[in-house]
Amino acid sequence: MNSTNIKVLKNPKEWKEAFPVMKQLRTHLDENSFLQLVQEAVGKEGYQLAALYDNEKVVAVTGFMPMITLYNGRSIWVCDLVTDEENRSKGYGKKLLNFVHQWAKENGFGIVSLSSGLQRGEAHRFYKDKMEYDKVSYVFLRSLDIN
């Protein structure tokens, strides 16, 4: 019998456990840069990193943070959501996103939003069909030379 639980990860040792799954989404990161970015995001942005464990093994990870904008007011931004490729279609992503929804409600945030890469058609269907998200905008990005 499978035993699953979700845990907010609080320190570098726990964050490190989540890295192999997160790496499947954030392929450009190595472990050190991942740990540094999580540390900074937790300290400056209120970022939360949570993992879903199946029989004590991390099988899905989400990162999210509170935001206050004129567009959404008090909301939660889901920065990252990934299920281990060998464990997809088992409902883990839905459980994690529902965890974020509950966290948001308990902390006074009435909106949860996210972006998803244009190439991620399966993820888009998941957000729209299974999680009842609305597509309300496009996200634009411009890289700046800061050197």
Which run of H or of E encompasses 57?
strand 57-69
Share of the chain residues as helix, strand and coil, in percent rounded to the nearest 5: 35, 30, 35
Q: How many domains does the chain have?
A: 1
Is 31 within the bounds of a domain? yes
N-to-C CA span, the chain: 53
The pLDDT score that the predictor gives to residue 1 is 55
Is residue 78 in some structural domain?
yes
Instruction: Convert the pLDDT of each residue in 110-147 to its tens digit.
Output: 999 999 988 888 899 999 999 999 999 988 989 999 97
- Parent domain of 84: 4-130
Query: Is 141 contained in some domain?
Result: no
Chain segment 58-116, per-residue pLDDT in tens: 999 999 999 999 999 999 999 999 999 999 999 999 999 999 999 999 999 999 999 99
Indicate whether this model's pTM tops 0.85. Answer: yes
